[in-house]
Amino acid sequence: MTEIDFYSGSGDKLNTACRLVAKAVRNGLKVMVYTSDPAAIEQMDKLLWTFSAKDFIPHCRAGNELADVTPVILGDNAIKIPHNDVLLNLDLANPTFFSRFRRLIEITGTTPEDTRAARKRYRFYQDRGYEIRHHKLGAP
């Protein structure tokens, strides 16, 4: 069963996503970063290149010819994703294909729209019997 982690209270979801992606890659995991928003994919792509002076985070877009050998894939569907390690969801809706991944990471921002959408996703997973770990960002 997919392990689910919610990270709530992120003031900058893309920065939080980069930190979590870097940690996963350091641990030898492959990650798909999912969102249906092309602008967010573009922002994430640029941020992964400049995020850290210490960590190089190899990444490409879904459908790229190097996707089979790249640890981080950015995209809006998992049809051609060659792994099932980690799915990091940046979308407001839950990805319909999340259960094929070993782990799902959800990041919640601080806007009312994002909070409402995250609560809906949380209930969706909870109603289906998934155990959810919750991490409050910025909490002591």
Read off the pLDDT of residues 47-57 as tens digits, 9 standing for 90 and up. Answer: 999 888 787 89
Give the whole-angstrom CA distance, residue 109 versus residue 123. Answer: 17
Per-residue confidence (pLDDT) for residue 108, from 0 to 100? 94
Q: At what angle do helices 38-50 and 13-26 cross, to 10 degrees?
A: 60
Number of domains in the chain: 1
User: pTM score, two decimals?
Assistant: 0.94
Q: What is the CATH number of the domain that holds 54?
A: 3.40.50.10110
Give the whole-angstrom CA distance, residue 41 versus residue 35. Answer: 7
Q: What are the pLDDT digits (tens) for 25-76?
A: 999 999 999 999 999 999 999 999 988 878 789 999 998 999 899 999 999 8
Q: Which domain holds residue 64?
A: 3-136
